[in-house]
Amino acid sequence: MNKATKGAIAAGAAAVLLLGGLGSYALWQDTETVTGGEINSGELNFAPVPGTANWTETSVTPNADLGTDPSTFPIVPGDVLEYSTQYTVNWAGDNLRATITADFTDV
């Protein structure tokens, strides 16, 4: 047998194997209509409470209250500033998790 004949037989066998996996033959079938159920989604959001934001310098004793705008404070190396605020949390659902992180791109 030459190489061309062997290649043709191999290609034919591969085609038969690939085509055999495209469908299945079942001797039974059934059809049933079901009604759709209700799908509800949860909710989790945070909203800062107005008037509760505050900056504090915590590297001195007693801590220095900087108010809501620290831009007028002349910060120097070693100073530690702390931001605090309160949030109203609204949620509905189970197994909810969240993490609040700071974005320092505009600092």
Give me the sign of the Cα torsion angle 22, 27, 31, 32.
negative
How is the chain split into domains, by residue range? 44-107
Which positions of the chain have pLDDT values less than 50?
none
| Residue 49: predicted pLDDT | 92
| Residue 77: predicted pLDDT | 93
| Residue 18: predicted pLDDT | 67
pTM value surpassing 0.75: no
| Residue 88: predicted pLDDT | 92
Distances (CA, A) of 52 to 57, 62, 69: 16, 21, 12
Q: What are phi and psi of 15, to 5 degrees?
A: -65, -40
Buried b (16+ CB within 10 A) or exposed e, 77-107: eeeeeeeeeeeeeeeeeeeeeeeeeeeeeee
| Residue 10: predicted pLDDT | 82
What is the rounded CA–CA span in Å between residue 60 and residue 80?
9
- How confident is the model over 20-45, as pLDDT tens digits? 666 666 677 788 888 888 888 889 99
| Residue 25: predicted pLDDT | 61
What is the rounded CA–CA span in Å between residue 100 and residue 85?
12
